[in-house]
Structure 1
Amino acid sequence: MNNNCRLVQLIHPKFGRRIAAVQEPELLFLNGFGSIYELALRALESNQKLSDLILKSLSEEKLDYDSIYQGNSEWKLLPSFDHPNSPFNCMVSGTGLTHHNSALNRQMMHSDQKEQATDSLKMYEMGVKGGNPASGEIGVQPEWFYKGNGAVLRAHGEKLYIPYFGNDGGEEPEIAGVYIIDKQGNPFRIGLTIGNEFSDHVMEKMNYLYLAPSKIRTCSIGPELVVDADFDSYTGEVSVSRKGQAIWSSKINTGQQNMCHNLENLEFHHFKYDSHRIPFQAHVHFYGADAFSFGNEIMLEEGDEMKVSWEGMGRALVNYLEKVKEKKRPLVKQL
């Protein structure tokens, strides 16, 4: 696993956006780029490897990582990837039922009869049988869901929201892939990042057909993007704390060795659509989780801290839960 090249995105009220390489315990600025998107675009345009461009762009300007990570600096962490000019040009999506435990959690959500397989469990079994095709062959398609455009992305340390019309909010500890489309419409994977694919599990449990709206929520990625990382196998930990005390935690596993679909199959089925290969489009795609607190009947409350860490993926991603009480009902008028 290559975890030597890790990047963060930063913003300052006076100096604007910058990107930096992680060289613990410091961050080293890259010259000439305000976003990882711009860095990747330059690598494509100049036909060079992203890792080579990063090395050529390193400056001697350093920042203390701890103060930024802990929120004690004017420099603030941004999501580890985004489209710097328009959130509408960034698609945020994911694939579910890629891990055995996620399928079992869905099974318990939607069936009172444990011996009777739900569509969720059937779809997982389809992945077990056909989700790892040989290279160049097409495997069974996974479940796919839309989370929103880039406006839903949040950074380390920021809040994730339960909207006034929501029923609940719960963490989903994952790894996400980030992608860019070149001018010919070809997708390129830039790297991997820690993700919290925050969702409304209570809404989903009401009716299986509520899965789609239960996913349209804020979510978080970061703090770091790992360039050139493989997706073979990862172990990590997820926890929920309330008023400084841990109330739940679990070991987590992901990567191709722990899933019923390989990465090539997930990527093929996401990018097979022409609308997902629009030139210069950005993508953040979540690969699925194998544990979350709702599966253990934990209901998150306002102010709870959600923490996700994966070995080899840099520092942990921490976010906080907030309920939106103000009801801003959209008023539709006739033109």
Structure 2
Amino acid sequence: MIRLVQISNGDSRRVALVEEPNLRCLIGVESIYELVRQCLLHGDTLSKQAVALAHGEVLQYDSVYDGSSDWHLLPPIDVPDAPSRLTISGTGLTHLGSAKERQAMHAADTQKLSEAMTDSMRMFQWGVEGGRPSPGEIGIAPEWFYKGNGSMLKAPFASLSIPAHAEDGGEEAELAGIYIVGEDGAPYRIGLTAGNEFSDHSFEKRNYLNLAGSKLRNCSLGPELLIGGSFQSIAGEVRIEREAKTIWSKGIVTGEENMCHSLANLEHHHFKFEGHRQPGDVHVHFFGAHSLSFGDGIVLQDGDWMEVHFEGFGRPLRNPVRVEKTDEKKLITAHPLA
């Protein structure tokens, strides 16, 4: 089990093996994408090849992480020069906590919450009943959503923006699976990483059918990509800071033991679509959130910091909130070419 980061100094980039308190750069590759493609071509395992190439420059991780180095962190996966070849998606209603919060979000009042089951809770219940099929069998499909391509993926410490047209923006502390499609059309799991999926929960709350639009926001991953880690039960914490003080925090859990869908079932229902099996494409797939600050009435403000940390996944992922400040919502016009 190893952890990798991607770093850049503006002129060049590196892949580095995390050896706390240092980063050991790999020789011969400039991206994890390049490293993975080499492994697929030569039949090597990713962890073995990464360790074999980790003979480059040694950097102090603290200075890279705190921004005092010329090197800065990149997302732990990208497709250099071709961001459209990276698809960001996710599944919701996979954790009991998320189902409870979604039920409350879409129930009009307390009486309705107690008397009726929303569509969200029906889908969650289907997952409880059929989301963990026996080996070799296909289970019930989970909720699925699209977030965008690689242009929406932000580095650790980069701002996550609430657009002028949005109603709000809120953190979603999750783990994400990172995948590449081989030349044979088969998906390969590269590893797992911490993520902040970031969504417009106020817009979604208006109507469940707004879910698709609420997810079209930027997001962040990392800083570290875990290779060979377990997905059984992972504990973590999510916090919101305002003016250097913690205004909200909560312990979170993820992994198969805390979910109604198995990892294999989530992966099958994502990659069953032929369009998701195009050779050379990369997929970032969020596995669902346990708890949201939005559910506790927190409204994120410009300058707030969001922090996501999972045990065993290295250093915390931190991102500030940036609210786009415009007096009027800009009208986007399509220009005819007739």
Give the TM-score normalised by structure 2: 0.96
How many Å apart are 1:23 and its aligned residue?
Answer: 0.2
Partner of 2:113: 114
Over residues 59-111 of structure 1, what are the superposed CA-to-partner deviations in whole Å (9 max), with x where a residue is unaligned? Answer: 14100100110111111100111111211000000000000110111111111
Partner of 1:91: 87
Partner of 2:155: 155
Confirm or deny: 8 A CA contact 2:17 2:51 kept in the other structure.
no
**SS of equivalent residue, structure 2 residue 320:** strand
Confirm or deny: 8 A CA contact 1:71 1:157 kept in the other structure.
no
Superposition pairs for residues 130-141 of structure 1, below 5 Å? 130-141=130-141
Inter-partner Cα distance in structure 1 for 2:320 and 2:137: 42
How many Å apart are 1:324 and its aligned residue?
Answer: 1.3
Q: Does 1:66 align with 2:54?
A: no
Amino acid at match of 2:62: D
Residue 8 of structure 2 is aligned with which of 8, 11, 14? 11
Q: Does 1:333 align with 2:335?
A: yes
How many Å apart are 1:292 and its aligned residue?
Answer: 1.0
Inter-partner Cα distance in structure 2 for 1:307 and 1:58: 29
How many Å apart are 1:248 and its aligned residue?
Answer: 0.3
Over residues 160-182 of structure 1, what are the superposed CA-to-partner deviations in whole Å (9 max), with x where a residue is unaligned? Answer: 00011000000000000000001
How many Å apart are 1:330 and its aligned residue?
Answer: 3.0
Inter-partner Cα distance in structure 2 for 1:154 and 1:60: 26
Instruction: Note the aligned Cα RMSD (angstroms).
Output: 0.9
Amino acid at match of 1:9: Q
How many Å apart are 1:261 and its aligned residue?
Answer: 0.2
In the alignment, structure 2 segments of 5+ residues that lack a partner are none
Amino acid at match of 2:65: Y
Number of residue-to-residue matches in the alignment: 331
**SS of equivalent residue, structure 1 residue 81:** coil
**SS of equivalent residue, structure 1 residue 275:** helix
Inter-partner Cα distance in structure 2 for 1:214 and 1:177: 21
Inter-partner Cα distance in structure 1 for 2:134 and 2:80: 37
Partner of 2:252: 252
**SS of equivalent residue, structure 1 residue 184:** coil
Residue 27 of structure 1 is aligned with which of 19, 23, 26? 23
Inter-partner Cα distance in structure 2 for 1:72 and 1:56: 29
Confirm or deny: 8 A CA contact 2:27 2:56 kept in the other structure.
no
Partner of 2:299: 299
Q: Does 1:223 align with 2:223?
A: yes
Inter-partner Cα distance in structure 2 for 1:61 and 1:212: 44
Confirm or deny: 8 A CA contact 2:180 2:189 kept in the other structure.
yes
Over residues 168-206 of structure 1, what are the superposed CA-to-partner deviations in whole Å (9 max), with x where a residue is unaligned? Answer: 000000000000001111100000000000000000001
Inter-partner Cα distance in structure 1 for 2:331 and 2:28: 42
How many Å apart are 1:55 and its aligned residue?
Answer: 1.6
Inter-partner Cα distance in structure 1 for 2:330 and 2:27: 42
How many Å apart are 1:328 and its aligned residue?
Answer: 4.8
Inter-partner Cα distance in structure 2 for 1:318 and 1:258: 24
Give the direction of change, closer, same or farther, for the CA distance of 1:329–1:79 in structure 2 (3 Å limit): farther
**4+ runs deviating over 2 angstroms:** 325-331
Inter-partner Cα distance in structure 2 for 1:257 and 1:49: 27
Inter-partner Cα distance in structure 1 for 2:195 and 2:280: 23
Residue 47 of structure 1 is aligned with which of 43, 65, 71? 43
**SS of equivalent residue, structure 2 residue 143:** coil
Give the TM-score normalised by structure 1: 0.97
Give the direction of change, closer, same or farther, for the CA distance of 1:328–1:75 in structure 2 (3 Å limit): farther
How many Å apart are 1:329 and its aligned residue?
Answer: 3.7
Inter-partner Cα distance in structure 1 for 2:128 and 2:292: 21
